[in-house]
Amino acid sequence: DRKSMDSKGVTWKRQRIVLTEDKVLFSKLDQDNGVFDFVNLSEIVECEIKADEENDQQQDNIGIRRNSEWKVPMLEVIIRTTDDGYNGGRSYIYRTEYNDAISWEADIDRAVAKAKARALEDLLHSKYGHSLLSMARAR
């Protein structure tokens, strides 16, 4: 669920999120090909998880108790982008179940590290060409 803020307050909208080799893609759940936004992995400065602020229920080792029912704990996954990138410093906040949030953060962190390493290699290659000595000095 993606967090949105409007004149009515905070709302959560269900969306499909796809992690590729170089982007995080966002689309509406009911559309197969309608990507409406994306974040370049090389422009992500941080991906973190935190407790869902709307869950003010009592926590237990098993889950969250709400109205005498056990619910799976929800966490927020926050993706922050660089100020000078395509997304202009925007933060993307999503809410998902605990295990999924832990997995998302790890997967995004790994993908970001690989994308930034590829971007550095591309930059060095474009600047120094095929000279291994020049590229080694630049590193």
3-state secondary structure of 58: strand
112 close to 127: Cβ distance less than 8 angstroms:
no
Q: Which two tokens stand for residue 10?
A: 């905070």
pLDDT value for 3: 77
Considering only CA atoms, which of 109, 104, 138 is closest in space to residue 121?
138
pLDDT bracket for residue 53 (50, 70, 90): low
Measured CA to CA, the distance from residue 64 to residue 138 in angstroms comes to 52
pLDDT value for 5: 72
CA-based angle 20:21:26, to the nearest 5?
Answer: 25
pLDDT bracket for residue 102 (50, 70, 90): very high
Higher pLDDT among residues 61 and 101, named by residue: 101
3-state secondary structure of 103: helix
Has residue 7 got a pLDDT over 70? yes
Q: With pLDDT > 70 as the criterion, what percentage of the chain qualifies? A: 78
| 55-60: average pLDDT | 46
Q: Per residue in 79-91, pLDDT tens?
A: 999 999 898 999 9
The single-letter DSSP state of residue 7 is: T
Q: Report pTM.
A: 0.74
